[in-house]
Amino acid sequence: DTGVSQNPRHKITKRGQNVTFRCDPISEHNRLYWYRQTLGQGPEFLTYFQNEAQLEKSRLLSDRFSAERPKGSFSTLEIQRTEQGDSAMYLCASSFFGRSETQYFGPGTRLLVL
């Protein structure tokens, strides 16, 4: 069990560019969650998957955000036409729904939009 991994760990981009983040969950986990954390705040829910199905999206997830989990394993979060307000830490977590609903977090991807 290698834990949840996220890549890249840091990303600096210019306003208007597109960025994509990747999350690899714990291998047997069927649920995968994305959260966003801004400085001095707790994480906020963005979206989650059960296997490959995206079951819920927060109102925080504007049309510029899209997430996929194509084979029910890793997931990607893409932000198009980035804005300075997108600067945050993007956290991924996974869990095994039906056995233990405890979410285990990755180290996060810190995004800075200039």
Rounded Cα–Cα distance for residues 103 and 95 (Å) = 5
Rounded Cα–Cα distance for residues 21 and 15 (Å) = 16
Rg, the chain, Cα only: 13
> Contacting other proteins (CB under 8 A), which of 35, 65, 109, 111?
35
Q: Which tokens hold the place of 114?
A: 């200039």
- For the segment 39-58, give every residue that binds other proteins (CB under 8 A): 40-45, 48, 55-56
Q: Which stretch binds other proteins (CB under 8 A): 21-29, 38-46, 60-68, 72-80?
A: 38-46
In the complex, the residues that contact other proteins under the rule CB under 8 A are 31, 33, 35, 40-45, 48, 55-56, 91, 93, 95, 97, 101-108
